[in-house]
Structure 1
Amino acid sequence: MKEREKPVFNSLLKQYLHFGLPVDQIDGKIDFTIHNLQDIHLGLPFKSPVYRANFFSFVFVKDGHGKYTTDDLGFNTVPGTIYFTNPGHYKSYEWEEIKEVYLITLSESFLKENVHPDVFEEFPFLLAETVLPRVLDPESFSEFEQLYLQIRKEYFASSPYRNRLIGNLFVVLLLKIKEYFWKDYNPIYEGNRSSQIVKNFKMMLEKHYRDLSSGKVTQVFRVQEYASAQNLHPNYLSNVLKSKTGKGIGTWITEKTIAESKSLLQNSSTSIKEIAYVLGFSEASHFSNYFKKHTGLSPVLYRKQQDTPKS
């Protein structure tokens, strides 16, 4: 399949619909999902096409067998396997047997709103370009099982605090992942030169938008600033990002701007005019047009939907 033909999905709901898989377990109202893949893959074996997902995925294989590929990395999924991927990678998977395999997916905006606004500062491994899976013994795996089953319970509950409960439980889950897998994680030493460039760019992008949101800086970085920070030509940085992630630098900046916009819009005390200014827009109308172009909703309507109580 040619690169341009590989589908791109911004949510698991759209991915499953494209693959013709059941979606009754998916709540399309929030950027978070959790379910046992046994309830989705009713006909096995199953092999997916190559695709790109623009959301985070966490997989917990208590009992199942299959194969997984992300970019150029492939591995077998066996009982006790835990792995995760972040947005932007080419992926494919196949399952031969599924008895208990839980999948959690969530967006960056959900992470920032319900886990922590500086989530990547506390958990830098979330920005790693490719993370190798780990296979745990049953006793260690059970610690994660208790957490993801509790998250699943809250996901299907009707509490008005559902998202906050899920967010707090997910913090514990991330801390356990950090404890078991990445206690001494340091992204600068991981991978080859291109991987380091991608990681450095992601970290700089995250820090810059965090500084924008906090008011530490008011000038939005251009491509040149991101390139100069690594002593690179802008075209070279763009080429590396495109080849390693499938997304050009403009797409990365756009997606980050939209993610920050959503996070700020969920804070009802911040006016849309202020949000526009914080994110470098000269006029609130320019920001509104930009947001609607990339989300299909105006900032006002998006905020209204977030303020509407969800069952």
Structure 2
Amino acid sequence: MENLSIKDFYKEIFGENNSQIDTLLKNNSSNELGHFNVFDTKKFFFSGNKKSEMTYNRKLYYKISLIKGNNLVEYAGKSVRIEKQGILFATPKIPYKYIPQSKEQSGFFCVFTKEFLSKSKTGLLIDELPIYQPNSNFVYQLNDEQYNELKLIFKKMDTELSSDYAFKYDLLRNYVLELIHTGQKLKPVERLTSTNNASQRISSLFIELLERQFPIENESQAIQLKAPIDYAKTLGIHINHLNKVLKETTGKSTSEIINGRIVEEAKILLKQTQWSVTEIAYALGFEEVAHFSNFFKKHTSLPPLKFRN
């Protein structure tokens, strides 16, 4: 799975070598403000050879999509269908697949980084909001009145972004927060009955969540999902269901798969870096170096230093 940064996102919708990309990044980003942009969906995803289907790629940004048209959204064992219109709140923590079911699509979407919203004067922490929790229903149905009200907010954002108002980014943050708080009051779209490939989808997303934590590139980096329960919570399913699915699809338990990948990464770090065993232990989620040493010896029959040498 790819890690899609804002720049990678623009490459997807504009093309690999489009000259607009650097201009967009320069105009709409800074170390102090983060990044924000807003688009007309129809203009950018349903013209020419632009790709309309969004895959399970890891997206390193937040996205709010106002959707008008028949669409299917898949996440782990859940599928939700937007028959007419809705709004979707995407976060880097929730991998999902977005599949238009018809050519008649319209709406708006905005993309922004965590840094952009963290500059809000309210001191808001975006990942603590209910709508961005792993078990949240992040797709919401809209009636005509709600759709038109939210469409107006997106149009205001579009107008404001191109203005020369000195405090426009403060105003844009307020618009984004209005979208989020409106979403948190909406009724979720009803989930469809699990499809036959739900188990395979859960298995694929589990592997994606596991692999997104590697490779470990520096000593200060540490994996965030350590135990089976961490993955189950992120996927929004019960740990017993995750274990059952993985046993059916891979023949291994959740713990066996996680431990196997950690051992593989530990071997790479021991052989290809000069990091101390303590640094490697921390990066792989172990609070005590002794725990890592025992873990590694259990799975390889050798202590870490002996394996290195």
Q: 1:38 — aligned with what?
A: 42
**Structure 2 residue aligned with 1:124:** 130
Partner of 1:8: 3
Q: Deviations over 1:123-153 (max 9, x none)?
A: 3322344424222210122221221211121
**1:116–1:69 Cα change, 3 Å:** farther
Q: 2:92 aligns with which of 75, 81, 87?
A: 87
The residue aligned with 2:152 is 146
Q: Is the CA contact 1:38–1:100 (under 8 Å) kept in the aligned structure 2?
A: yes
Q: TM-score, normalised by structure 1?
A: 0.51
1:73 aligns with 2:78: yes
Q: Is the 8 A contact 1:58 1:83 kept in 2?
A: yes
Amino acid at match of 2:143: D
* Secondary structure class of the residue paired with 1:88: coil
Q: Which protein shows a greater Rg?
A: 2
Give me the TM-score of the superposition, normalised by structure 2: 0.51
Secondary structure at 2:164 match in 1: coil
Q: Which residue of 2 aligns with 1:269?
A: none
Task: Give yes or no for contact 1:33–1:106 (8 Å, CA) kept in 2.
Answer: yes
Check if 1:17 corresponds to 2:11.
yes
Change (3 A) 1:51 1:177: same
In the TM superposition, residue 75 of structure 1 has moved relative to its aligned partner by: 2.5
Is residue 37–residue 98 contact of structure 1 (8 Å, CA) maintained in 2? no
Between the two proteins, what is the percent identity of the paired residues?
A: 11
Alpha-carbon displacement from aligned partner over 1:252-304 (angstroms, at most 9, x marks no partner): xxxxxxxxxxxxxxxxxxxxxxxxxxxxxxxxxxxxxxxxxxxxxxxxxxxxx
State which drifts further: 133-142 or 109-118.
109-118
Correspondence 1:234-245 to 2 at 5 A: 235-236=227-228
1:293 match: none
Contact 1:55–1:86 (CA under 8 A) maintained in structure 2: yes
How far has the Cα of 1:164 moved from its partner? 0.8
Q: 1:71 to 1:10 in 2, by over 3 A?
A: farther
**Unaligned 5+ runs, structure 2:** 30-34, 189-221, 238-257, 259-309
- Which amino acid letter does the alignment assign opposite residue 124 of structure 2? D
Unaligned runs of 5+ residues in structure 1 are 1-5, 183-221, 228-233, 249-311
Which of structures 1 and 2 has the larger relative contact order (alpha carbons within 8 angstroms, sep 6+)? Answer: 2
RMSD over equivalenced CA pairs, Å: 3.9
One-letter code of the match for 1:33? N
Q: 1 CA distance for matches of 2:147 and 2:231?
A: 40
The alignment status of 1:134 with 2:140, answered yes or no, reads yes
What letter is aligned with 2:38?
I
For 1:138-196, what per-residue CA distance to the aligned partner results, in whole angstroms no more than 9, with x for missing partners? Answer: 012222122121112112223222211101222222232233349xxxxxxxxxxxxxx
Which 4+ stretches in 1 moved above 6 angstroms?
Answer: 241-245
Amino acid at match of 2:71: G
> Per the alignment, do residues 20 and 93 of structure 1 end up closer, same or farther by CA in structure 2, a change over 3 Å counting?
farther
- Give 1:111-190 correspondences, 5 Å limit: 111-114=117-120, 116-120=122-126, 123-181=129-187
Letter of the aligned partner of 1:68 in structure 2? V
How many equivalent residue pairs? 195
